[in-house]
Amino acid sequence: MDSLQKEKDELIEMFGIHFESVYNIPPLAARIVGLLIVEGCKSGLTFENIVEKLGASKSSISTNLNLLLKMEKIYYFTIPCDRKKYFKSAPLSSRLLNYLKILESEFIVTERILNYREKTASCSEEKCNLENIKSYKKHLLEVEKSLKKTIAEFKKIETQNQSQN
């Protein structure tokens, strides 16, 4: 095995482990996403390509592709006069939109505890907690602003790339 192939295999495995823990998905689904990021960037991969490269059964690949499609971690497209589906990983802007949703949920919870703590803080520990919550809220707003800016930049790049293809 040459060094580039070894590096590619290690990258796919690394992505797989990462996505397995971040998205709480089965190992095969995580490795499919990793494979699509590493090898499917340009033209996408067909179902047959994925089965061949990962060496899993067709039914396992199919089940995991359907899961990933439902989770919007991947998408597929077709080519006129070609009956095959070509799978690609979701663009980075989509991945970041998921983080934005998590952040917005965190903000709602933080806002609720902040409102509650402002009404009830009576001892030094609770007042300290109130200050920490205020600081955390400020942090969330800064991260949200930065994330929205990054998403907009990625969407612009992705749109440019699509128009060139």
Final residue of a structural domain among 61, 89, 117: 89
127 and 146 assigned to the same domain: yes
Compute the average pLDDT of residues 79-106. Answer: 92
Backbone angles phi, psi at 76, to 5 degrees: -130, 160
Residue finishing a domain among 38, 56, 89 = 89
pLDDT score recorded for residue 42? 80
Q: 41: domain CATH number?
A: 1.10.10.10
H helical segments located in the chain: 3-23, 27-39, 47-54, 58-70, 92-120, 124-164
With a pLDDT cut of 90, the percent of the chain lying above it is 86
Regarding whether 34 and 75 lie in a shared domain, the answer is: yes
My answer on whether 84 and 9 are in the same domain is yes
Residues 35 and 47 occupy one common structural domain: yes
Please check whether residues 85 and 104 belong to one and the same domain: no
Q: Are residues 126 and 102 in the same domain?
A: yes
The residue from 63, 89, 115 where one domain ends is 89
- 98 and 74 in a single domain? The answer is no
Q: What is the mean pLDDT of residues 80-105?
A: 92
* pLDDT digit string, tens, across residues 61-78: 999 999 999 999 999 999
Q: Judge if 84 and 11 occupy the same domain.
A: yes
**CA 137, CA 8: separation in Å to the nearest integer?**
40
Beta carbons of 19 and 75 less than 8 angstroms apart: no
pLDDT number for residue 15: 93
Q: What is the mean pLDDT of the chain?
A: 93
Rounded to an integer, what distance in angstroms lies between the CA atom of residue 12 and that of residue 42?
Answer: 16
Are residues 9 and 73 part of one domain?
Answer: yes
The CB-side HSE value for 7 (13 A sphere, CA atoms) comes to 3
Please report, rounded to a whole number, the percentage of residues in the chain having pLDDT higher than 70: 99
How many domains is the chain partitioned into structurally?
2
Summarised one tens digit per residue, pLDDT across range 108-156 is 999 999 999 999 999 999 999 999 999 999 999 999 999 999 999 999 9
* Token output for 6: 């070894």
Spatial neighbors of 98 by CB under 8 A, at least 6 apart, are none
Q: Give me the pLDDT at residue 43, please.
A: 87
Residues 18, 66, single domain; the answer is yes
Mean pLDDT score, 55-62: 96
- Which residue segment(s) compose the domain that 60 sits in? 3-89
Structure confidence at residue 53 (pLDDT): 95
Residues 72 and 143 placed together within one structural domain of the fold? no
